[in-house]
Structure 1
Amino acid sequence: MTKNGEHYSTLEVEGESSRAREAKGKNPVMEVPLIGKDVGHDRDGGAGVKRGVSVIDFVVRLLALTAALAATIIMGTTDQTLPFFTQFFQFRARYYDLPTFTYFVVANAIVAAYLVLSMPFSIVTIVRPLVKAPRLILVIFDTIALTLTISAAAAAAAIVSLAHKGNTNTNWIAICQQFDNFCQRSSGAVVASFVTAVIFVLLVILSTVALKSH
């Protein structure tokens, strides 16, 4: 106690330690607004990515609609009559003469109608990119439409192949040498339908990626 210098130096050290503790206690309070700002930035960035995916989905959906309508119209207007005929027979080929082609036209027409009805849901995902329900609805019905499109295209492709090549084992002759226009149009319709199926695969992938990023 008699050494005043030592006494005062001890008080200074204690004062410094108190100030250090006060500074440490203030650090967590200062970090809170910075963390909140980063979270908001990430949220806005995620919404922007989802909106971009939704815009791509809408454009691709328009392409699918175009392909499905093309397949329906081409097959639905396929009709050819050969220039030669007999007194009792007229050689004519129409799509509704074959049940498989009829199913093809109906299936692609249903798919085209669905694509038109799905446009509002796709627009909703653009306006509100963080909403999950419209994307889930699109994934479910896009998968159903994909299945319908593939089944119709595959069945029609089998008939088109038979028309081009025939089948000697069952004595089915190839008719495309006579009905060349009929075969060309039906083949083009099948190709358009397969293009629609490929686009649907892309749509399902886009919607799944957007759902996964929620």
Structure 2
Amino acid sequence: MSALLKEVLDAHGGLDRWRRFSSVRATIVSGGDLFAIKGIPQDPAPREMTVRLHEEHASVTPFGAPDQKTEFTADHIAIQKTDGTVVTERAQPRKSFDGHALETPWDALDRAYFNGYALWTYLTTPFLLAMPEVGVEEIQPWPEGGEEWRGLRATFPDVIASHSTVQDFYFGPDRLLRRHDYHVDIAGGFAATQYVHDIVEADGILLPARRRAYKRDDTLRANLDQVMVAIDLSDIHFT
């Protein structure tokens, strides 16, 4: 483990503390233009998100109906009744996005899959960078707001579903997360920058309560005029 990664993990609560927990629950409110582009505008109703920390599994409730929820893993997505009855499901869901462009409509399972892997990634950052199958290297720092944000580039294996294989994470002088860069492979591969705000402490773990994602140009600058994805978290509890 690099010195920078250790500093980052310590700043967010420490790897030893992280390993004591198995899951996290949070209230989530999401929105942004991406969902309208995909033909499934997101309402502002709060939902409950549950994520397992050491395996890729996530669930959100309600989803599509008051008595429905999602069940996400890297190779399977399902919409279920809260009693476990399967409403609809899809194996190997990543394959369903082959040939998609940004404007290609999503169905409910596509949306559920995106939600599952994205929130699993966000709620396990930065500790997922310490997973043995994730490659991590330091990259050039990014200057912004009078600060120098040091960067870590993560290369994810195929067994982890996420935005893209290669993603960059930037951390401020306090070593807390400031910015997350990636490509949204399942939406035509557009380049995105996500800024994070309002760092909160939950059971000794520090994480951002507000995330805003934008398109990114070739100079690594974000187009702040259009919010592609907005995520607000509250009532966060690790167990």
Flag whether TM exceeds 0.5 (same fold).
Answer: no
Give 1 or 2: higher helix fraction.
1
TM-score (norm 2): 0.22
Structure 1 length-normalised TM: 0.24
Query: Which is richer in strand?
Result: 2
Larger Cα-atom Rg = 1
